């Protein structure tokens, strides 16, 4: 772990450096707030110890700049001339902790452990959120700009939303974006892939079951609608749902009530429904495969996600985004794509849409050179 010590007293800088290095930390020093800020802007530190009274830029000024610039390193303020008011003021301004001089070794090590533990938890939480909900909707083309605008308008409402578009175009990402921007973002977001659940189990999965209601029902089970109570349920591939299940989903939407399999007591739920499909539901209605009344309940707002072939201007942006995220996940330096390689990838058709593009980018990063060349694209992308 890397620590930065900012103090204008040479003796304190080096004694603290020596102590922390003996404990196995990598330590750098700065003799004033300005130098400390410059280092914090360039390097990633696990914690910063910062004196308050220093020339050029004092500790409170440096702390304010660190917070203002969004540097997430925990800052521990140090002073031999401060009182309780100063300490409280520093904490209010965003300092992780406050230590008085003369420095106590045990206090330093405990504070440092707490600070680095907190930083690790914050980092892990951000990674998890990004993996689950935080993926970006990348693109600057007119169709994507229009879609983003619609999401901004729709998200704060309680309206049901139907998302249409081909496989791999990003319908799930649109649903997650609506949820994140909604008034229900602090409540559950429950995803259901209707095509992946066998027809004989869909009732149990959506509405739950009571113990003993069928052979393998060894305990009560909350269904997806009850799990999403107060939040949002995302019914992906709803065009593949059976007519019997459609009737029960319609009842939940109309009456906000459900009955678990094997139960005799109704449960009231408050759920916002977002559905998605790659099918033309109007055609499915004409064939008798989808209920028209459910369609009208779901399609208060219809959002169409464009195929990648209809937004080819976004291909270079998506390639750079995927390259960065894939390299970051694997802990490798970001690789560049030569302009000729980007042009070739932009020209080709993408029947598998964004999902196919990401797979091709990952393949090129594994097999191609640095930068990824046009020849790499010809050899491995087609």
- Which domains does the chain possess? 2-129 (3.40.50.2300), 142-306 (3.40.50.300), 309-380 (1.10.8.60)
Q: Does residue 125 surpass a pLDDT of 70?
A: no
232 DSSP 8-state letter: E
Q: What are the CA-CA distances from residue 41 to residues 57, 58, 60, 277, 380 (Å)?
A: 15, 17, 16, 46, 39
Quote the mean pLDDT of the chain: 89
Q: What are the CA-CA distances from residue 96 to residues 20, 99, 368 (Å)?
A: 18, 10, 45
Model pLDDT, residue 123: 66
Q: Does residue 89 surpass a pLDDT of 60?
A: yes
- d(Cα 379, Cα 382) in Å, to the nearest integer? 7
Confidence bin at 135 (pLDDT 50/70/90) = low
Give the model confidence (pLDDT) of 21-78 as tens digits. Answer: 998 899 999 999 999 999 998 888 989 999 988 888 989 899 999 988 878 889 999 8
Give mean pLDDT, residues 197-223.
84
* Cβ atoms of residues 75 and 105 within 8 Å: no
Model pLDDT, residue 271: 95
Model pLDDT, residue 133: 46
- d(Cα 316, Cα 374) in Å, to the nearest integer? 14
Pair of tokens at residue 83? 């009182």
Q: Does residue 134 surpass a pLDDT of 50?
A: no
Model pLDDT, residue 127: 54
């Amino acid at each position: 772990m890397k620590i930065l010590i900012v103090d204008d007293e040479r003796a304190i800088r080096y004694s603290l450096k020596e102590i922390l290095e003996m404990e196995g930390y990598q330590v750098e020093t700065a003799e004033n707030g300005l130098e400390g800020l410059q280092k914090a802007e360039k390097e990633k530190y696990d914690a910063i110890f910062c004196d308050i009274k220093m020339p050029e830029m004092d500790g409170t000024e440096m702390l304010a700049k660190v917070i203002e610039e969004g540097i997430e390193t925990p800052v521990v303020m140090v002073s031999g001339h401060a009182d309780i008011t100063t300490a409280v003021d520093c904490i209010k301004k965003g300092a992780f902790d406050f230590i008085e001089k003369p420095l106590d070794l045990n206090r330093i090590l405990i504070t440092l452990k707490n600070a680095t533990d907190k930083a690790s938890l914050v980092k892990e939480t951000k990674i998890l959120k990004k993996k689950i909900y935080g993926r970006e909707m990348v693109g600057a083309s007119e169709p994507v700009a229009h879609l983003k605008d619609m999401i901004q308008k729709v998200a704060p409402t309680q309206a049901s939303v139907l998302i249409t578009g081909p496989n791999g175009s990003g319908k799930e990402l649109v649903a997650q974006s609506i949820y994140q921007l909604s008034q229900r973002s602090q409540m559950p977001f429950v995803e259901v892939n209707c095509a992946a659940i066998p027809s004989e189990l869909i009732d149990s999965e959506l509405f739950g079951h009571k113990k003993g209601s069928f052979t393998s029902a060894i305990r009560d089970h909350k269904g997806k609608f009850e799990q999403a109570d107060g939040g949002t349920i995302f019914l992906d591939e709803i065009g593949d749902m059976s007519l019997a299940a459609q009737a029960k989903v319609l009842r939940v939407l109309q009456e906000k009530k459900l009955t678990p399999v094997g139960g005799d007591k109704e449960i009231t739920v408050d759920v916002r429904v977002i559905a998605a499909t790659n099918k033309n539901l109007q055609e499915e209605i004409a064939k008798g495969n989808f209920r028209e009344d459910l369609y009208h309940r779901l399609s208060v707002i219809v959002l169409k996600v464009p195929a990648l072939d209809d937004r080819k201007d976004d291909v270079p942006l998506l390639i750079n985004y995927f390259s960065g995220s894939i390299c970051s996940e694997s802990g490798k330096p970001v690789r560049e794509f030569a302009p000729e390689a980007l042009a070739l990838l932009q020209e080709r058709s993408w029947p598998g849409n964004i999902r196919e593009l990401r797979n091709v980018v990952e393949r090129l990063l594994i097999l191609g050179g640095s930068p990824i060349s046009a020849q790499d694209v010809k050899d491995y992308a087609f």
